[in-house]
């Protein structure tokens, strides 16, 4: 008895229909609404924005932690104000001085002059090649 009653009730539900006005407005809404953003893409952009924000905050903390603007001038890693950076200037000046002395030393030696520049050469790689060759020959002759 109970089952029959339920089946009857369900059968009556078949004939349920929406109100004509509601059906029209609902159809219009469905057909003309804008395309929804794909969930995946939305998720990605959201994730990128979040990462960027976190990244910027982390960078700010690091910047503050390492000393801010003042350190920019002190550290050689910073490309900012590289022209007046003391360490970079000292390195370049040292390298230039060494190169100049090496070339002038070569010229002085081959001209048979007292080599005032060889005093400035400190490392073995800076040894005047011609001088080294002549010393080898002298050594070979005297052996």
Q: Which of 111, 122, 123, 125 binds another protein (CB under 8 A)?
A: 111
Give least dist CB 54 to another protein, A. Answer: 29
Tokens linked to 27: 């159809």
Residues 72-91 that bind another protein (CB under 8 A): 73-74, 81-86, 89-90
Distance CA 115, CA 128 (A): 10
What sign results for the dihedral spanned by CA atoms 39, 41, 47, 52? Answer: negative
18 lies in the binding site for another protein (CB under 8 A): no
Minimal distance, residue 117 CB to another protein, in Å: 10
120 binds another protein (CB under 8 A): no
CB neighbourhood size of 83 (10 A): 7
What is the CB neighbour count within 10 angstroms for residue 24? 11
d(CA 101, CA 120): 7
Phi, psi of 66 (to 5 degrees): -85, 0
Binding-site member from 6, 56, 93, 116 for another protein (CB under 8 A): 93
Among 103, 115, 116, 126, binds another protein (CB under 8 A): 103
Number of amino acids touching another protein (CB under 8 A): 38
Contact (CB, 8 A) for 120 and 107: no
Question: Does position 17 bind another protein by CB under 8 A?
Answer: no
Token pair recorded at residue 96: 């230039």
Contact set with another protein (CB under 8 A): 70, 73-74, 81-86, 89-90, 92-93, 96-97, 99-100, 103-104, 106-107, 110-112, 129-130, 132-143
């Amino acid at each position: 008895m109970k089952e029959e009653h339920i089946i009857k009730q369900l059968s009556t539900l078949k004939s349920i229909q929406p109100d004509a006005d509601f059906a029209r407005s609902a159809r219009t809404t469905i057909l003309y609404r804008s395309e929804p953003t794909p969930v995946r893409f939305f998720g990605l952009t959201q994730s990128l924005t979040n990462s960027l924000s976190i990244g910027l905050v982390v960078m700010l903390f690091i910047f503050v932690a390492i000393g801010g603007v003042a350190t920019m001038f002190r550290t050689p890693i910073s490309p900012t104000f590289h022209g007046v950076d003391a360490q970079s200037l000292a390195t370049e000046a040292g390298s230039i001085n060494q190169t100049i002395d090496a070339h002038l030393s070569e010229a002085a030696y081959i001209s048979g002059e007292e080599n005032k520049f060889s005093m400035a050469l400190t490392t073995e790689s800076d040894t005047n090649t011609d001088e080294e060759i002549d010393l080898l020959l002298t050594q070979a002759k005297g052996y």
